[in-house]
A and B are shown apart, each in its own frame.
Chain A
């Protein structure tokens, strides 16, 4: 089946530093990937759509200069949280459409804690 991995699974960083989160489709190619953010006890909110070979599309209210997305290859998208602050602490989840094109496959998520 289609598997999506994320790395790291959790990260703690100091305020003001940058953190990179990787999302990989392990056994299929994904020209598009999606990045979601989930605050404690809340639902998933789409942050941006990552497009291989072109710029990411950001949802309204998401700062593209703060959340840098790079879709480096057909199996890898990265989300970099720049100059992280405590309010950026959240659970970040990526997803990718599977080969059959009939569902999204989600990564296990990355828990970011900014001190």
Chain B
């Protein structure tokens, strides 16, 4: 079955600290992987995506993610978190332009 697991429902970090949000997936075909961010009451903004090639992808706002096929993971990282990064983060998998399967999300809280 196709699925995406985000094990951490809620993460709290101090501003300036590093961040890693975990994402594991199960997908039959070659996965296309995405990370989205959603602020309260807002739509989704794409942070980064992975289709092929270099397994370390850079995104917007200083985020990066690493695809590890052997672990079926696509973890999101940021070396130094800003207060404005507080939001809900969703990992998703799909087949390019096909429907996406989303994880349950990780809510990030940032303390000053």
Binding site for B on A (CB under 8 A): 32, 34, 42-46, 49, 93, 95, 97-98, 101-104, 106-109, 111
Chain A residues with Cβ under 8 A from B105's Cβ? 42-43
Chain A residues with Cβ under 8 A from B103's Cβ? 43
Smallest CB-CB A-B distances: 7 pairs: A97-B97, A108-B43, A106-B44, A43-B102, A43-B104, A109-B43, A44-B102
Flag if B102 contacts A101 (CB, 8 Å): no
- Give the CA-CA distance A46 to B101 in the complex, in Å: 8
Flag if A93 contacts B44 (CB, 8 Å): yes
Flag if B96 contacts A101 (CB, 8 Å): yes
Flag if A108 contacts B104 (CB, 8 Å): no
- Give the CA-CA distance A3 to B13 in the complex, in Å: 33
The contact string, 1 if C-beta is below 8 Å from chain A, for chain B 72-107, is 000000000000000000100010110111111100
Binding site for A on B (CB under 8 A): 34, 36, 41-44, 46, 49, 51, 90, 94, 96-97, 99-105
Of the residues B41, B46, B99, contact of A103 by C-beta under 8 Å? B46
- Give the CA-CA distance A100 to B70 in the complex, in Å: 29
Chain B residues with Cβ under 8 A from A111's Cβ? 41
Of the residues A49, A106, A108, A109, contact of B99 by C-beta under 8 Å? A49
Chain A residues with Cβ under 8 A from B42's Cβ? 108-109
Flag if A103 contacts B34 (CB, 8 Å): yes
Flag if B43 contacts A46 (CB, 8 Å): no
- Pick from B44, B46, B100, B101 the residue with the most CB of A within 10 Å: B44
Flag if A46 contacts B96 (CB, 8 Å): no
